[in-house]
Amino acid sequence: MNRKVKNDRFFQRKSQYQKRWRFLQKFTIVVSLLIAVWLFFTTITVFFASSKPVDAFFVLGGSIKREMYVAELAQKNPQIPILISSGSKDPCIWLIFQRETAPIDNVWLEKCADSTFDNFYYSIPILRQWGVRKVKLITSTTHLPRAKLMAQILLGSHGMWVSPDIIQEQGIPGNRENSWKTALDVTRSIFWAPISQVIKPQCSKVIQLNQVNLQEWENRGFKCERQGNLRVKSR
C-alpha cells in the first residue's frame, strides 16, 4: 500500500513538472515572438528615420570640447534642440554659447547622470518627449566604441537613428575606456532597452541654459576646463 502511494505521488509530481515545463515552453515562445515582432517594427522605424533631418543634438558630458562643438552647431542650426547630459559646469557652457553668439533658448542641461549609462537612462524620456527620430550624438574618440554601441542599442530601441559626430580632445579626458567597461555597459543596455519601453526615469535636475544665473555662480566661484579657453571671474 505504501509503495502504491509513493508511486502515485511520484506520478503526480511528474505530471505537475510536465505541465509547468509545457507552460514555460509556451510562455518562452510567446515572449520570443513578441520580441521578434517588436524588433522587426523598430528596425523598420529606425531605417526610415535615417533619411530624416536631425531632430536633436545630444551631447555626452566628459569634455568641454564637446560643448564647444555643439555651440558651433547651434549657431548654424538654431532651430534644433540640444540636450547636454552631465556636461561641464552650467556657467562654463553658458560662456561658451555666449562666445559663439549661439542661441541658448533651445539648450537643456540634464544634471542627474553620473555615468555613460545614466546619460541614456535619464535622457531617453526627454528625447522621446521631444518626439525625436534622428539624433546627432556628440562625443569623442576617447569615448568609443562604448558610447556609440550604447546609443545604437538604447536609442535605436526607441526608433531613433543615431548619427555620431566624433571630436578630438586634448589632455586627459573624462572618459577612460577598457574592454570590461564596454562589455558591462553594452550588456546593461541590452537588458534595459526593452524595459525602458515601459519605465521612464525622470531627472529632477533639468534646466534650460537661459535660466543659468551667471552672477550667482560668479559669487560662489567656479572653474572651467582649460581647453575651453574661457575667462572666468571667480572668488
What stretches of the chain adopt beta strand conformation (E)?
A: 56-60, 82-85, 107-110, 134-140, 161-167, 206-208
> So where are the chain's domains?
1-49, 56-228
What is the per-residue pLDDT across 148-207, written as a single tens digit (0 to 9) for each? Answer: 999 999 999 999 999 999 988 766 555 567 788 899 999 999 999 999 999 999 999 999
CA angle 196, 200, 205 (to 5 degrees): 130
pLDDT class for 14, splitting at 50, 70, 90?
low
DSSP class of residue 30 equals H
- Closest of 180, 117, 200 to residue 154, by C-alpha: 117
What pLDDT is recorded for position 76? 95
Q: 107-110 and 206-208: which strand pairing?
A: antiparallel
What is the per-residue pLDDT across 41-78, written as a single tens digit (0 to 9) for each? Answer: 677 877 777 789 999 999 999 889 999 999 999 999 99
What pLDDT is recorded for position 11? 61
Q: What are phi and psi of 80, to 5 degrees?
A: -90, 125
Element (H, E) at 128: helix 116-129
DSSP class of residue 170 equals -
* Mean pLDDT, residues 209-227: 91
pLDDT class for 115, splitting at 50, 70, 90?
very high
Look up residue 66 and give its three cell numbers.
Answer: 564637446
What stretches of 118-224 adopt beta strand conformation (E)?
A: 134-140, 161-167, 206-208
Element (H, E) at 129: helix 116-129
Reported pTM? 0.83
- Cell 531605417, residue? 47
CATH architecture of the domain 56-228 equals: 3-Layer(aba) Sandwich (3.40)
What pLDDT is recorded for position 160? 96
